[in-house]
Structures are given as C-alpha cells and as structure tokens.
Amino acid sequence: MSLATDPQPSAAAQLSPERLREAYRLMLAIRRFDERALELYRAGEIRGTTHPYIGMEAVAVGVCSALEPDDYVSSTHRGHGHTIAKGGDMRRMMAELLGRATGYCGGKGGSMHIADMERNMLGANGIVGGGMGLATGAALTAKLRGARQVAICFFGDGALNQGILHEVSNLAAIWQLPVVYVCENNQYAMSARADWSVAGGDPAGRARAYGIPGVTVDGMDFFAVYDAASALVARARRGEGPAYLVCDTYRYHGHHAGDPLNYRDRAEVERWRRHDPIERLRRALVERGVLSAAEADALDQQVQAAVEDAVAFAKSSPEPSVDQLMTDIYA
C-alpha cells in the first residue's frame, strides 16, 4: 500500500554528519553489547537467557533516529537493541543482565524486562505481543494530553499471529492514535519460519484490513528504515493515525543463547550476513565522506571500550540485597 504521503527518498540524506555518525555508533554498540552478552552467558555469568539483537541493528536505530526524545517505545524479549537505540545506558543494562543492584531494574527484571522510563522506553517484555497494548496506551495518553508524542511498538514476526495485534490495530485505527507498529521480521519465531506461519505471506498487507498504511522495507538498510519510519512517524504526529512498518531482517544468532539452530542452514545465514547492516552503513558513510575508515575503526574501538567499561561496572556492582525482595510490588 502506498503512503498517503510517500516518504521523501532523501529524508536520510538530510541527516547531519553528526547524526549519521551517532547512528553508526549506536548500531556498533548494539552489536558489541550483545556479542559480549553472549560471551557472558556462555561463561555462566548471565542467568536465564539472553536474546541477541545481532543482525537487526538497522531496525532499532533506523526507527529511533526518526524519533524525538520524548516519543515512546515498547520493546520485545529481544530488547537490548531498542534500549541502546533509545539512548539507554549500557552500564545499567549490563548490570541488569548480571543481576546487580545497579542495573536498570535493580536486578529484579533481567534481560527481558529492561526499561528506561526516563527515556520513555516502556520496557522489554517477556510476553510475545506484550508491548502492543503498552505502546497503544502510550499513544492514547499522548492523544488525550494533546501532546505531539508518537509511540513505536516494536514486535517480531512471531507476534504477527497474536490476537492482541488485531485488537490494538483496529482500536488505534478507529481512534486515530499516533502509534507505528514496527514488525521486525527476522524470519523466525523460534523455529517457526515466517513464510510458513504468517498466512497471506505479506505482513504489511494486513494493514490494509484496518485502512492504514503498511510499508515493507529492507530492514538491513539503515537509510531505508529511517526514511520509512520518518514518514510514518511524521504522519502519526500530524494526527493521521497508525501504520505498520515491516522491516525484513535477520537474526544472525539463535532465538536465544541456547538455541539448537537445527531449523535453518548456514548458507542462509551467510546470505543474510552479506547484507550486514553495519557494514553497509559504514561503506555508505565512508563513501559520502562522513567518516573515514580510520575514524570508523576508532569508533568501533571506543564502543568496545564502552562495553568493557559496562562489564567492569556490572561485575564490580553488588548483587541486590535480599531485603529488596518484597519492595516495589506496590507503589
């Protein structure tokens, strides 16, 4: 479906060099953070599980680069990328992963529940589709207040088949709420292939049922994501209602750190890796003269140092005191 106002193809081109460098830095940060989280998980330092965002960085950063600081974001179980893209603090994130008192949630949430309420990041969510109501409700708050805020609901292809998506899409459409539903189609819901589990074969096409725009973009391309998100966010901000943005992307690693990965072949992974979003953005920025290769390498070094600093901060932080067990249940 075409947009009421088609995205300006040059929207991303209008981004300042500073903002482009920042986008690149954020994508690197997501990758290095989650690479390190996987190492820590394998070393037995992270309990439960962790869901790496590696490979999907252009989606979180492309969308969040199109937002104002007070716009809302709801996330998923695979939430590290959204938190970092929204400006979250890697120290507090890593401390939460390691179950420390200094973590975002004081060690009470872990990877799947990191929220940054000061940045209107409404939390990762352990329930598939759990963020849909939160983002839609945030959009309702914005509308009732007459604020110009927009809410982004990130969700995976697996959540395309949750009933709540139908209910909130319908409600947001009839109420014209300022929310953009961003489907990160990383092709798999655990082992379920999206080309098998999603009837109709076209997630964005489902938007037609609600009379709202549905746009599909190459989710491995920062510029494509940013352009489409900018157009849909601007539209929502003007009071023209919700939309679907489907980003075709891929998770390089398993669903979580313990995934047997028996349901896809390596050739497929390699095909997607050839479109790596960070490599592509780097090439584009170097070509445009936004960044030299040496500067790009230096940025990567800085990011890796920041991740190591976050790990050191987390490891040197205390575990939560047991006397915190029964606090924070009620306000």
Partner 1 sequence: MAVPTAPAAGAPSAGGTVRHLTYAEALNEALREEMRRDPSVFVMGEDVAVWGGGGVFGVTRGLVEEFGPERVRDTPISEEAIAAVAVGAALTGSRPVAEIMYVDFMGLAMDPIANQAAKLRYMFGGKARVPVVIRAQEGAGRGNAAQHSQSLEAWFCHIPGLKVVTPSTPYDAKGLLKAAIRDDNPVIFLEHKVLYGLRGPVPEGEYTVPLGVADVKREGRHVTVVGIHTMVHKALQAAEQLAAEGIELEVIDPRTLVPLDEETIVNSVRKTGRLIVSHEAYRNAGYGAEIVSRVVEAAFDYLDAPPQRVCARDVPVPYAAPLEQAALPQVADLVATARALVRKEL
The dihedral region occupied by 113, where left means phi > 0, alpha psi between -120 and 50, and beta the remainder, is alpha
Kindly state the smallest distance separating residue 236's Cβ from partner 1, in Å: 15
Rounded CA separation 105/93 (Å): 9
Rank residues 164 and 284 by Cβ distance to partner 1 and give the closer one.
164
Q: Which residue in 5, 8, 10, 141 binds partner 1 (CB under 8 A)?
A: 141
Q: What part of residues 82-111 is at the interface with partner 1 (CB under 8 A)?
A: 103-109
Per CB under 8 A, 241 contacts partner 1: no
Q: Residue 206: is it exposed, middle or buried by C-beta count within 10 angstroms (0-12/13-18/19+)?
A: buried
Question: Which one of residues 11, 127, 192, 306 is an interface residue with partner 1 (CB under 8 A)?
Answer: 127
- Scan residues 3-42 and list those touching partner 1 (CB under 8 A): none
In the chain the first and final C-alpha atoms are separated, in Å, by 45
46 to 75: interface string for partner 1, x by CB under 8 A:
--------------------------x-x-
Footprint (CB under 8 A) of partner 1, residues 149-208: 163-164, 167-168, 170-171, 174-175
Contact 93, 305 (CB under 8 A): no
Smallest distance from partner 1 to CB 150, Å: 12
Q: What distance separates the 2 farthest-apart alpha carbons in the chain?
A: 56
Residue 76: both structure tokens together: 């998923």
Give the three-class secondary structure for 72. Answer: strand
Query: By the 8 A CB rule, do 230 and 223 touch?
Result: no
Binding flag, residue 254, partner 1 (CB under 8 A): no
Rounded Cα distance, 164 and 172, in Å? 12
Residue 74 token pair: 């709801």
From 10-18, 37-45, 113-121, 297-305, give the range in contact with partner 1 by CB under 8 A.
113-121
Among 28, 40, 142, 220, which residue interacts with partner 1 (rule: CB under 8 A)?
A: 142
Name residue 12's amino acid. A
Told to check if 317 binds partner 1 by CB under 8 A, we report no
Tokens of 314: 């987390």
The one among 136, 186, 230, 317 contacting partner 1 by CB under 8 A: 136
Binding test (CB under 8 A) with partner 1, winner from 65, 120, 185, 187: 120
Contact 210, 166 (CB under 8 A): no
CB of 272 to partner 1, least distance (A): 32
The type of residue at 289 is G
Residue ranges binding partner 1 (CB under 8 A) = 72, 74, 103-109, 113, 115, 117, 120, 122-123, 125-127, 130, 132-145, 163-164, 167-168, 170-171, 174-175, 327-331
